A and B are shown apart, each in its own frame.
Chain A
Amino acid sequence: MTRSDSSLKPLFGWAAGLAALILLPFVINTYIILLTTEVMIMGIFALSFNLLFGYTGLLSFGHAAFFGMGGYVTAYLLSHACPSLTLAFLTGVAGASLTAIVVGYLSVKLDEIYFAILTLGFGMMFFSLAHQWRSVTGGSDGLTGLVVPRLGWGAFSVDISSPWHYYYLVVAAFLLTVWILRRITQSNFGLILVSIRENKERAAFTGINIRAYRLASFSIAGFFAGVAGGLFAVFDRMASPSMLHWTTSAQPVLMTVLGGAHTFFGPVVGSILFFFIEHIITKFTDIWMIYLGAILIPLVIFFPEGVLGTLLGLKKRKHG
Chain B
Amino acid sequence: MAPILEVKNLTKHFGKFQAVTGVSLTVEKGELTALIGPNGAGKTTFYNMLSGKFPPTSGKIFFEGRDITGAPPHKIARMGIGRSFQITNIFTSMTVMENILSALIAHHGAGTSFFAPARKNKKLLEEGSKILESLGLTPYADMPTTQLSYGDKRLVEIGIVLANSPRLVLLDEPTAGMTPEETERMIELIHHLADETDTTFFLTEHDMKVVFSVSKKIYVLHQGSLLAAGSPEEIQKNPEVRKAYLGGEIHA
**Contacts from A to B (Cβ < 8 Å):** 183-184, 186-192, 194-195, 198-199, 201-210, 213
Contacts and interface: CB of A to CB of B under 8 A. Distances in A.
B119 interface: yes
A127 B106 CA distance: 39
Contacts, number: 101
B89 A201 contact: yes
Interface string B92-119: 1110001101110111001111111111
Contact of A189 (B74, B85, B90, B113): B113
Contacts of B112: 188-189
Contacts of B78: 207
Interface of B: 51, 53, 72-74, 77-78, 82-83, 85, 89-94, 98-99, 101-103, 105-107, 110-119, 121, 157, 160, 163-164
13 contacts: A183-B115, A184-B114, A186-B119, A187-B118, A188-B110, A189-B111, A191-B101, A195-B98, A198-B91, A202-B157, A205-B89, A206-B106, A207-B107
Contact of A191 (B93, B105, B107): B105
A122 B117 CA distance: 34
Given A191-B119, A201-B89, A204-B72, 8 more contacts: A187-B115, A188-B114, A188-B118, A188-B121, A199-B89, A202-B160, A206-B102, A207-B74
A207 B115 contact: no
A210 B91 contact: no
Nearest to B84: A205
Contacts of A213: 111
Contact of B117 (A187, A203, A206, A209): A187
A198 B72 contact: no
Nearest to B92: A198
A184 to B, nearest CB: 5
A310 to B, nearest CB: 16
Given A183-B114, A186-B117, A192-B106, A209 B74 contact: yes
A207 B104 CA distance: 10
Given A188-B121, A190-B118, A207-B106, A202 B111 contact: no
Contact of A206 (B113, B116, B160): B160
B164 A206 contact: yes
Contacts of B121: 188
B91 A202 contact: yes
B77 A195 contact: no
Contacts of B92: 198-199
A206 B93 contact: no
B117 to A, nearest CB: 5
Nearest to B157: A202
Contacts of B116: 187-188
Nearest to B73: A204
Contacts of B119: 186, 191
Contacts of A205: 51, 53, 73-74, 77, 82-83, 89
A199 B209 CA distance: 32
Contacts of A187: 113-118
B83 to A, nearest CB: 6
A320 B116 CA distance: 28
Contact of B111 (A186, A204, A208): A208
B230 to A, nearest CB: 30
A207 B118 contact: no
Contacts of A209: 74
A195 B100 CA distance: 11
A186 B118 contact: yes
Which among B83, B91, B98, B102 has the highest number of chain A CB atoms within 10 Å?
B102
Contacts of A194: 91, 94, 98, 102
Choose among A183, A187, A189 the residue with the greatest number of B CB atoms under 10 Å from its CB.
A187
Interface centre among A201, A206, A210 (most CB of B within 10 A): A206
A195 B102 CA distance: 7
A154 B21 CA distance: 78
A187 B107 CA distance: 16
A129 B96 CA distance: 48
B162 to A, nearest CB: 11
Given A198-B91, A207-B106, A191 B77 contact: no
Nearest to B170: A205
A195 B91 contact: yes
Contacts of A190: 118
A318 to B, nearest CB: 18
B154 to A, nearest CB: 13
Contact of B118 (A191, A202, A203, A206): A191
Contacts of B117: 183, 186-187
A192 B117 CA distance: 12
A189 B101 CA distance: 11
A202 B51 contact: no
B94 A207 contact: no
